[in-house]
Structure 1
Amino acid sequence: MAEKALNGTRTQRVIVHSLIVRVTHWVNAFAMVCMVMSGWAIYNASPLFPFRFPAWATVGGWLGGSIAWHFAAMWLLVANGLVYLAHGFATRHFRKHFLPVRPRDVLHDARLALTLRLPHETGVYNAVQRLLYIVVLLFGVLLVASGLSIWKPVQLAWLTGLFGGYEFARRVHFAAMAGVAGFVVVHLALVMLVPRTLPSMITGRARRVVHGVTDA
């Protein structure tokens, strides 16, 4: 249903996120939280660096429990990711929403974002968002690949070798996790700055201006 706006145009609620995009988004959010928190518990059992994560930020209770959480979340993440990728390619979701990504567009939108002057339309990704989504998808692939090389370093010796050995694969896995965590922080910050984007990821609909509509 359209509603008349103050400037004489009309606004109308339209679909901006498909059901599959919404479901996979929330499943992915749940899986990533479980993976990161259980991964931090696993890290604490054999730290790579001179720090540990606080116990309240971990799940599993003990190493075996945390590993069980980690693998369960991993398979959920992989299955959910395959559904999202299949949907993205079949419907051209990636091409329509994430491409093209041009350096000059990214720099332009980044400058506007840093000065809080970047306009936002729900369901439309700016150049910075498109780049971030592509990067986090690549981080996800890197997480799974490096995680498998750590899990099965003998059976998947060729994969572990691609990462430069078991110890370096652990560091790659940690760096990819840090990249995903950083994306989540930025993503949540943007949601807080533009809170109207959240309801559309639940309902799938947002209000858009409809041009050329006149009263009967």
Structure 2
Amino acid sequence: MKADPTSIPSRHDGPPHPLWLRMTHWLNALAVLIMVMSGWRIYNASPLFDFTFPAGITLGGWLGGALQWHFAGMWLLVINGLVYLCLCLSTGRMARRLFPVTPRGVLADARRALAGHLDHSDPRRYNQVQRAAYLFAILDLVLVVLSGLVVWKSVQFPMLRELFGGYDAARLIHFYGMAAIVAFVAGHATMALLVPRSLLAMLSGGPRPPRSDKEIAP
């Protein structure tokens, strides 16, 4: 099978995960954890459905405390997320690592993954399932932030509120967006445990790329 040229490391690349990427990745993870756990406590104060989350997995202790944690996590996510996106775009990393991605490619790589035929030896190469998952996570977090603005400041963002179909619809979208990112994190963490080299690369940066084109395997 012919290799995807966009996923083959360049000799001009740095390590698989440069320091700025690792820092923003872990800060994003912290922000999401804070927002999810505090969000569960906020949800418990006015449930959408016939269930609540156990107090032991929530953050804030009470509604006011949970709101303070939630807003702190929101600002961390927004600021750090913008830094991450700007660096990904300016360095060309997003174009190299996350594109191209097609439905056919995602299905093909998903079948290979289920059959145990995907190669995870090079952390620089993202298969199309990974690319689709990472792009989904980025878009979902944007949706969560925007719907959260409507829930938080509905009167101040009337146009945004109308785009989401009103306050109640925005609250539902915010909840489902949260559920989607929790599912992504669970799957992401599971894959990191199944392929420990990917976790080690995100902690240490991973091995540096070959210094010459001859060192790059075909």
Give the TM-score of the pair, scaled to structure 1: 0.88
1:136-215 → structure 2 map (5 Å cutoff): 136-206=137-207, 212=214
Q: Give the structure 1 partner of residue 4 of structure 2.
A: none
Distance between the aligned counterparts of 1:133 and 1:193, measured in 2?
18
Shift of residue 124, structure 1, vs aligned partner: 1.5
Q: Give the structure 2 partner of residue 6 of structure 1.
A: none
Shift of residue 115, structure 1, vs aligned partner: 2.0
Q: Give the structure 2 partner of residue 28 of structure 1.
A: 28
Distance between the aligned counterparts of 2:144 and 2:155, measured in 1?
18
Shift of residue 179, structure 1, vs aligned partner: 0.9
- Aligned residues of 1:17 and 1:200 also touching (Cα < 8 A): yes
Distance between the aligned counterparts of 1:73 and 1:209, measured in 2?
39
Distance between the aligned counterparts of 2:94 and 2:123, measured in 1?
16
Give the TM-score of the pair, scaled to structure 2: 0.88
Please identify, of 32-41 and 149-158, the stretch whose mean Cα deviation from structure 2 is larger: 149-158
Distance between the aligned counterparts of 1:56 and 1:117, measured in 2?
40
Shift of residue 144, structure 1, vs aligned partner: 0.6
Task: String of CA shifts for 1:8-40, please: whole Å, max 9, x gaps.
Answer: xxxxxx711111111000000001000000000
- Aligned residues of 1:163 and 1:169 also touching (Cα < 8 A): yes
Q: Give the structure 2 partner of residue 85 of structure 1.
A: 85
Alignment RMSD (CA, Å): 1.6
1:99-138 → structure 2 map (5 Å cutoff): 99-120=99-120, 121-138=122-139
- Aligned residues of 2:16 and 2:208 also touching (Cα < 8 A): no
Q: Give the structure 2 partner of residue 42 of structure 1.
A: 42
Specify the structure having the higher radius of gyration (Cα): 1
Task: String of CA shifts for 1:59-87, please: whole Å, max 9, x gaps.
Answer: 00000000000000000000001100110
Local SS of the residue matching 1:123: coil
Shift of residue 98, structure 1, vs aligned partner: 0.1
Shift of residue 155, structure 1, vs aligned partner: 1.1
Distance between the aligned counterparts of 2:172 and 2:184, measured in 1?
18
Gapped regions of structure 1 (runs ≥ 5)? 1-13
Q: Give the structure 2 partner of residue 3 of structure 1.
A: none
Q: Which amino acid aligns with 1:109?
A: D
Local SS of the residue matching 1:125: coil
Distance between the aligned counterparts of 1:66 and 1:139, measured in 2?
22
Shift of residue 105, structure 1, vs aligned partner: 1.1
Distance between the aligned counterparts of 2:208 and 2:56, measured in 1?
40
Please identify, of 112-121 and 181-190, the stretch whose mean Cα deviation from structure 2 is larger: 112-121
Local SS of the residue matching 1:154: coil
Task: String of CA shifts for 1:163-215, please: whole Å, max 9, x gaps.
Answer: 111111100000111111110011011111101111111111237789856xx
Q: Which amino acid aligns with 1:178?
A: A
- Aligned residues of 1:122 and 1:206 also touching (Cα < 8 A): no
Higher strand share: 1
Distance between the aligned counterparts of 1:117 and 1:209, measured in 2?
25
